[in-house]
Amino acid sequence: MPRLVGIDLGGTSIRAAVATGPTTYADRVVRCLTPAADGPAAVISACAAAARDAAGGTPDGIAIGIPGPLDPVRGVVFAAPHLPGFESLPAREMLSEAAGCPVAIHNDSNLAGYAEWAAGMGRGSRTFVFVIIGTGIGGAVIIDGTLLVGAAGTAAEVGHVPSSSDGPVCGQGHPGCLEGVASGTGIARCAAAALGRGERSRLQGVAPLTASVIAEAARGGDPLAQRVYADAARALGRSFGALINILGPDAIALGGGVGSQADLLEAPIRAAMAEIAFETPLRNCRLGQAKLGSDAGLVGAVAWAVRSFGHQASREAAEAV
């Protein structure tokens, strides 16, 4: 087995592991803090060190998930909100030089979605949509085993579609964006706005007001909290309905901290999907919970390393014999 390493790079921590199969990795996971404040060169160097540590030497190939829009074909990161200096950064070349092996880079949500397709909720699916709802909303679209990346590498931003013409802005400043009402941040902001208008709720005076606190209040029967979740679910469902009409997926997986509130979201999402989606593609699409949780990022990076470099590394090993 060639030494292929997956790296999950986050704003606060780095995880690296060596592949033991197409979607599996060794028990030993190398973890370290991301030296984000020290700039891109320090972050790349920490990733290279983690990869060498995980591989027990120079790896035969690395795939890394990076939290920001990037072009996997050119190997360039356009921006990464939690990694200062990651702007127009040739991350693939830098990591390849630092680690001494070929490197593939990809958006972290895309790799998490690839993991869910290869080893989670989307197994066996031909057209798969992954939606991860946490602080923001990210996603991935996998068609016949291929990640949809688009002309610039930035496709599958399923959280940034219009939800209304005058709704709250999302984290990127788009007015009326799905993320503005259905992300954790959006849900908390919508609840805060209603509380600010003086609506009666058990959430009055609660701090910090988070999506999970609001979810608990909704389960306890608080009308404001229930409405905020219902609005989020309807917006999600309508956008999924549109995706069903455009892509005809056979599965849509919900992941992330907010996405895992299945009892509050799934039934109203299904109802709202039916408002928009045509009947036949809707009937052929299953909606469910992502299975890999916070492991998806690392599973996806490992799986992508095997997919990108597995054949090449095996061939070189055979030729060397």
Closest approach of Cβ 181 to Zn ion, in Å? 11
Judged by beta carbon, residue 9 or residue 161, the one nearer Zn ion is 161
Closest distance between Zn ion and the C-beta of residue 288, in Å? 25
Q: Which is nearer to Zn ion, 183 or 308 (CB)?
A: 183
Residue 143 or 155: which CB sits closer to Zn ion?
A: 155
Cβ proximity to Zn ion: between 60 and 179 the closer is 179
Q: How far apart are CB 214 and Zn ion at their closest, in Å? A: 21
| Nearest Cα to Cα of residue 156 among 143, 138, 169 | 138
136-175 residues in contact with Zn ion (CB under 5 A) are 160, 170, 172, 174
Instruction: Considering the complex, state which of residue 15 and residue 174 has its C-beta at the smaller distance from Zn ion.
Output: 174
List for the chain the helix, strand, coil content (%; round to 5): 45, 20, 35
Q: How far is the CB of 160 from Zn ion (least distance, A)?
A: 4
**What are the backbone angles phi and psi of residue 316, rounded to the nearest 5°?**
-65, -40
Least Å from the CB of residue 154 to Zn ion: 13
236 binds Zn ion per the rule CB under 5 A: no
Residues that contact Zn ion, how many (by CB under 5 A): 6
Distance of alpha carbon 177 from its chain centroid, rounded? 18
**Cα–Cα distance, 64 to 75 (Å, whole number):** 11
> Which is closer to Zn ion, CB of 122 or CB of 256?
256
Alpha carbons within 13 angstroms on the beta-carbon side of residue 208 total 8
Residue 172 C-beta: closest distance to Zn ion, Å = 5
C-alpha 215: how far from chain center: 21
Phi, psi of 160 (to 5 degrees): -115, 65
> For residues 194 and 224, what is the distance between their CA atoms, to the nearest angstrom?
8
CA distance 271 to 265: 10
Nearer to Zn ion, 167 or 310 (CB): 167
The CB-of-138 to Zn ion minimum distance in angstroms stands at 11
Stretch that binds Zn ion, among 36-44, 179-187, 219-227, 277-285 (CB under 5 A): 179-187
Q: How many CB atoms are closer than 10 A to CB 212? A: 14
Is there binding between residue 177 and Zn ion (CB under 5 A)? yes
- Closer CB to Zn ion, 122 or 159, in the complex: 159
Residue 146: is it exposed, middle or buried by C-beta count within 10 angstroms (0-12/13-18/19+)? Answer: exposed
**3-class secondary structure, 65:** strand
Q: How far is the CB of 105 from Zn ion (least distance, A)?
A: 23
Give the residue with the Cβ less far from Zn ion, 174 or 238: 174
Rounded Cα distance between 269 and 234, Å, is 6
**Number of CB atoms found within 10 A of residue 30's CB:** 19
In the complex, the smallest distance separating the C-beta of residue 157 from Zn ion, rounded to whole angstroms, is 8
Q: What are the start-end ranges of the E strands in the chain? A: 4-9, 13-21, 24-25, 30-33, 61-66, 70-71, 76-77, 103-107, 127-133, 137-143, 146-147, 251-255, 286-289
Kindly state whether residue 235 participates in binding Zn ion, applying the rule CB under 5 A: no
Type of residue numbered 120 = G
Question: Which residues here bind Zn ion, judged by CB under 5 A?
Answer: 160, 170, 172, 174, 177, 179
